[in-house]
């Protein structure tokens, strides 16, 4: 069977070392990873199978992580991870959406690793660690001590390696291709769903060199009245001769996601709207120039806020968030945000989606930039011009 690994074995090994180091520091013997991006990060695992219970277990006393999942998905574990066969453990299908708990199976593996009375870290705030999962594990391991290890791996993921940045550049090229294709599709009379379909096609097709993947959340294609509803669904309606479209598109390569948003004005925009766009672009460019290792996320946001304030605007939502490897439902890594009060110190290798979306009473505009922090400042991960597109 052909192995499909996108990083060197040494890189995976270094990731596991970093996770174990942090576990030791916190006195955690066994770490139960329920978050798909964290599972991918430490093992390479990539299949859309985490909607049934699936765990990666990192134990201080066991060399490799152990993947635990559904019987039919063990083949994907063999194909997409470097794990030895013995570290791939599958529960039978009778556990799936039935009255049996797959967490009893997980607990048995933890016991094999000496977990009966261990200190066990779990991802309390993760998307795939339900209240039931926690209750079942606590019941199955009554003598263990459970501690919240949410974001433990996420904070290690926040600094990307050169190999990860290289994949994110490819994702950025896909994002550029998506924006070009989508903007080209926008014409009066085209149905909103057909605009969205063009974005999806390019997302998955990718570029001739780099095939694409599904994004963590659907492209946001918010049109007309919906430009002020950032996560609205498109409709079947044809585009009006004159309307505004907010497009938030994501290029994805080997599960690494790069986000790119632009607003398109179909028909000549009102002067006040063009002015708004100019302000956003100015603030974005000024803020990008301020990105440097050693500055804090909060300081970067302050540059944006002050530039905007000079023009009489303010922004309610955060200015951006850390991005990297991701699975549905969310691209954000849940670590650093570019927002007031976030004292994360920028380091080379961090990657952010800087997203100065403005949603005012009845207009919205979004012109954004994904970037990697570099020794000298930043590297933009997409090359689509930062401007209001007018068609």
Pick 20 or 186: Cβ nearer a copy of itself: 186
Alpha-carbon distance 337 to 209, whole Å? 32
Q: Is the distance from CB of 133 to CB of 32 less than 8 angstroms?
A: no
Q: Which of 13, 24, 26, 125 binds a copy of itself (CB under 8 A)?
A: 125
Q: Which of 4, 8, 63, 116 binds a copy of itself (CB under 8 A)?
A: 4
Is the bond into 329 cis (omega within 30 degrees of 0)? Answer: yes
3-class state of residue 72 by DSSP: helix
Task: Provide the minimum distance between the beta carbon of 328 and a copy of itself in the complex, in angstroms, as a whole number.
Answer: 5
Pick 229 or 390: Cβ nearer a copy of itself: 229
Q: DSSP alpha helices (H): ranges in 290-365?
A: 297-310
Pick 66 or 216: Cβ nearer a copy of itself: 216
Q: Would you count residue 328 as binding a copy of itself (CB under 8 A)?
A: yes
Q: Which of 21, 27, 92, 289 binds a copy of itself (CB under 8 A)?
A: 92
Task: Provide the minimum distance between the beta carbon of 320 and a copy of itself in the complex, in angstroms, as a whole number.
Answer: 12
Pick 29 or 342: Cβ nearer a copy of itself: 342
Q: Which of 10, 25, 85, 131 binds a copy of itself (CB under 8 A)?
A: 131
Q: Would you count residue 37 as binding a copy of itself (CB under 8 A)?
A: no
Task: Provide the minimum distance between the beta carbon of 318 and a copy of itself in the complex, in angstroms, as a whole number.
Answer: 6
Q: Which of 88, 140, 167, 196 binds a copy of itself (CB under 8 A)?
A: 196
Alpha-carbon distance 356 to 368, whole Å? 6
Partners of residue 322 on adjacent β-strands: 352
Stretch that binds a copy of itself, among 157-165, 188-196, 279-287, 343-351 (CB under 8 A): 188-196
Considering only residues 217 through 246, tell me which ones interact with a copy of itself, judged by CB under 8 A: 217-218, 220, 225-226, 228-236
Query: Mask 47-86, x = binds a copy of itself (CB under 8 A)?
Result: xxxxx-------------------xxx-xx--xx------
Burial grade of 30 (CB within 10 A; 0-12, 13-18, 19 or more): buried
Token readout for 98 is: 């039935």
Considering only residues 96 through 115, tell me which ones interact with a copy of itself, judged by CB under 8 A: 96-98
Q: Which of 1, 189, 294, 376 binds a copy of itself (CB under 8 A)?
A: 1
Query: Mask 201-220, x = binds a copy of itself (CB under 8 A)?
Result: xxxxxx---xxxxx--xx-x
With b for 16 or more beta-carbon neighbours within 10 A and e for fewer, the 110-132 pattern comes to: beebebeebbbbbbeebbbbeee
Task: Provide the minimum distance between the beta carbon of 355 and a copy of itself in the complex, in angstroms, as a whole number.
Answer: 12
Cβ within 8 Å of residue 278, ≥6 positions away? none
Pick 213 or 368: Cβ nearer a copy of itself: 213
Alpha-carbon distance 354 to 370, whole Å? 6
Stretch that binds a copy of itself, among 8-16, 195-203, 262-270, 280-288 (CB under 8 A): 195-203
Alpha-carbon distance 87 to 58, whole Å? 11
Nearest Cα neighbor of 231 from 324, 321, 359, 339 is: 359
Q: Is the distance from CB of 319 to CB of 344 less than 8 angstroms?
A: no
Alpha-carbon distance 147 to 151, whole Å? 12
Task: Provide the minimum distance between the beta carbon of 149 and a copy of itself in the complex, in angstroms, as a whole number.
Answer: 11
Pick 20 or 178: Cβ nearer a copy of itself: 178
Alpha-carbon distance 113 to 184, whole Å? 56
Q: Would you count residue 313 as binding a copy of itself (CB under 8 A)?
A: no
Cβ within 8 Å of residue 75, ≥6 positions away? none
Q: Is the distance from CB of 332 to CB of 325 less than 8 angstroms?
A: no
Alpha-carbon distance 337 to 201, whole Å? 30
Considering only residues 147 through 166, tell me which ones interact with a copy of itself, judged by CB under 8 A: 148, 150
């Amino acid at each position: 069977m052909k192995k499909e690994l996108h990083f060197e074995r040494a890189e995976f090994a270094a990731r596991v070392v970093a996770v174990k180091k942090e576990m030791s520091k916190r006195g955690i013997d066994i770490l139960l990873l329920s978050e798909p991006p964290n599972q991918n990060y430490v093992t390479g695992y990539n299949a859309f199978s985490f909607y049934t219970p699936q765990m990666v277990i990192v134990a201080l006393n066991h060399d490799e992580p152990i993947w635990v999942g559904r019987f039919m998905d063990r083949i994907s574990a063999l194909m997409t991870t470097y794990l030895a066969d013995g570290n791939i453990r599958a529960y039978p299908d009778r556990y799936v959406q039935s009255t049996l708990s797959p967490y009893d199976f997980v607990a048995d593996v933890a016991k094999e690793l000496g977990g009966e009375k261990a200190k066990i870290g779990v991802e309390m705030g993760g998307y795939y660690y339900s209240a039931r999962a926690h209750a079942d594990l606590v019941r199955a391991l009554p003598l263990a001590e459970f501690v919240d290890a949410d974001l433990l791996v996420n904070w290690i993921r926040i600094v990307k390696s050169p190999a990860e940045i290289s994949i994110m550049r490819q994702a950025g090229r896909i994002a550029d291709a998506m924006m070009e294709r989508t903007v080209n599709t926008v014409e009066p009379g085209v149905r909103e769903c057909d605009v969205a379909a063009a974005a999806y096609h390019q997302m998955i097709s990718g570029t001739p060199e780099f095939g694409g993947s599904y994004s963590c959340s659907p492209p946001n294609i918010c049109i007309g009245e919906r430009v002020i509803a950032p996560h609205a669904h498109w409709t079947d309606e044809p585009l009006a001769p004159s309307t505004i479209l907010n497009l938030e598109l994501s290029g994805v390569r080997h599960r690494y996601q790069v986000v790119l948003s632009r607003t398109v004005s179909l028909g000549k925009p009102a002067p006040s709207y063009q002015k708004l766009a100019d302000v956003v672009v100015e603030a974005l460019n000024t803020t990008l120039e301020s990105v440097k290792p050693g500055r804090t996320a909060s300081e970067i946001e302050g540059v944006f806020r002050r530039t905007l304030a000079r023009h009489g605007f303010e922004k309610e939502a955060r200015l951006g968030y850390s991005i990297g490897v991701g699975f549905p439902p969310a691209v954000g890594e849940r670590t650093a945000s570019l927002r007031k009060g976030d004292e994360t110190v920028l380091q080379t290798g961090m990657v952010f989606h800087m997203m100065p979306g403005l949603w005012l009473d009845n207009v919205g505009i979004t012109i954004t930039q994904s970037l990697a922090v570099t020794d000298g400042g930043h590297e933009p991960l997409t090359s689509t011009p930062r401007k209001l597109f007018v068609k």
